[in-house]
Amino acid sequence: MKKMLFLLLLLSVVTISAQETSSKEFQQTLNKEYGDKEESPLTEEDFKTFKGLDFYPIDEKYIVKATFIRTPEEKIFKMKTTGTRTPEYVKYGQLIFSLDGQEFKLNLYQNIDLIKKEGFADYLFLPFSDLTCGKESYIGGRYIDMRIPKRDTVSIDFNKAYNPYCAYNHKYSCPIVPLENDLQIAILAGVKKFHD
């Protein structure tokens, strides 16, 4: 029995360690992209002093298990953006999870044009805002990229939350986080705001 408990404990530690490694790799990749003038949304002025994005420390507390509920009867709608562009999205499903003893719900969306492109057929978009927005994180909220879940539980890694391009450069038009994805809790994970 003790051996079994030890193995279960070891497995959970290995899983958490793998998730933390994944979070760290994501953040390193993001920094590399933003440091590359060919890929980065940064302005010429910002490039002069850019040394890396400011992240919250990686915290396994913000890697949460969520119940995935598919919502197949949703209608396509035009999502508001920071510009005049109104891309078409459809609500693909809901994620229900607990954090600090409270239950939360986030909607997952699918971009109608993007899924037609090679490699993006199973891409899902998870925009959210929280109580850090406008203080420590970008006022307009943050995004997480996901793929269509293969089962009814999924992991949300808020350590992989990133800012929209318009947080760095006004020439970009970015989807505005829908009101139903505003979390009444501080998510102390992912990218912080870029400019004070």
The answer as to whether 61 is a domain residue is: yes
Predicted confidence (pLDDT) per residue in 84-127, tens digit? 999 999 999 999 999 999 999 999 999 999 999 999 999 999 99
Q: What are phi and psi of 10, to 5 degrees?
A: -60, -45
Identify the band that residue 13 occupies on the pLDDT scale cut at 50, 70 and 90: very low
Residues 32-38 have a mean pLDDT of: 90
User: Is pLDDT of 6 > 50?
Assistant: no
The answer as to whether 160 is a domain residue is: yes
* pLDDT recorded at residue 5: 36
The answer as to whether 195 is a domain residue is: no
The answer as to whether 24 is a domain residue is: yes
Q: Looking at the DSSP assignment, which residues form a beta bridge with residue 24?
A: none
Identify the band that residue 140 occupies on the pLDDT scale cut at 50, 70 and 90: very high
The answer as to whether 187 is a domain residue is: no
The answer as to whether 191 is a domain residue is: no
Q: How many domains does the chain have?
A: 1
The answer as to whether 117 is a domain residue is: yes
Residues 41-50 have a mean pLDDT of: 90
User: Is pLDDT of 9 > 90?
Assistant: no
The answer as to whether 95 is a domain residue is: yes
* pLDDT recorded at residue 20: 58
Q: Phi/psi class of residue 27: alpha, beta or left (left: φ > 0; alpha: ψ in -120 to 50)?
A: alpha
* pLDDT recorded at residue 19: 60
| Dihedral Cα 195, 107, 26, 136, nearest 10 deg | 30
By residue range, what is the domain housing residue 31? 13-181
